Amino acid sequence: MNQVKKSDPNNRVAAENRKARFSYEILDTVEAGLVLTGTEVKSLRQGQANIQESYATNEGGEIWLINSYVPEYLQANRFNHEPRRRRKLLLNKREMARLTQSTEREGMTMVPLKIYFNDKGRAKLLLGVARGKKLHDKRETEKQRDWAREKGRLLKERG
């Protein structure tokens, strides 16, 4: 749905979940805002966050990001945040209903793909609606990636 433009230098990635594309088949993506404290934003700008083991869930009509790690901002003394706290995602009602419906009825999950800063300097989360891959699907993905790499090498040698 909403894709991040790779060529835009203003979209700086703060954290990326690269393993998600290997473990899950991403069917749809949604851009969501994050409710953050000031120290979390400063820590994200340093690019030390981790969303590898995190996931999103629907609780009480709201979507929450669970188990994401944003380290404490060292210069913040006693006003710091908790590194693994639950963070609320900002979506409109239609998007929330669509995400909730697909995860409940179709057995899919919401996987965070990357946290980045948009051109206005706001922290955004690219959330993927995904279905888990089986072991043979993962092997097939790896074969395709290896073949693409080998094909690139062969073309480079010839040309």
Enclosing domain of residue 46 = 12-133
Does residue 108 sit within a domain?
yes
Only one residue has tokens 């979209």, namely 11
Does residue 40 sit within a domain?
yes
Question: How many domains is the chain partitioned into structurally?
Answer: 1
Residue 78 in 3-state DSSP?
helix
Q: What is the pLDDT of residue 60?
A: 86
Are 32 and 87 in contact, with CB atoms under 8 Å apart? no
Mean pLDDT comparison of 7-16, 89-98, 104-113, highest-scoring range: 89-98
Q: Which tens digits make up the pLDDT trace of 23-64?
A: 888 888 899 999 888 888 888 888 888 888 888 888 888 999
Q: Which helix (H) or strand (E) holds 88?
A: strand 87-90
Q: What is the pLDDT of residue 149?
A: 92
Does residue 159 sit within a domain?
no
Does residue 109 sit within a domain?
yes
Does residue 138 sit within a domain?
no
Mean pLDDT throughout 122-139? Answer: 85
Statement: residue 7 has pLDDT above 50: no
Does residue 32 sit within a domain?
yes
Domain harbouring 127, CATH code: 2.40.280.10
Q: Say what percent of the chain tops pLDDT 70.
A: 93
Q: What is the mean pLDDT of the chain?
A: 84
Does residue 96 sit within a domain?
yes
Are 143 and 79 in contact, with CB atoms under 8 Å apart? no
Does residue 158 sit within a domain?
no
Q: Which helix (H) or strand (E) holds 89?
A: strand 87-90
Q: What is the pLDDT of residue 2?
A: 56
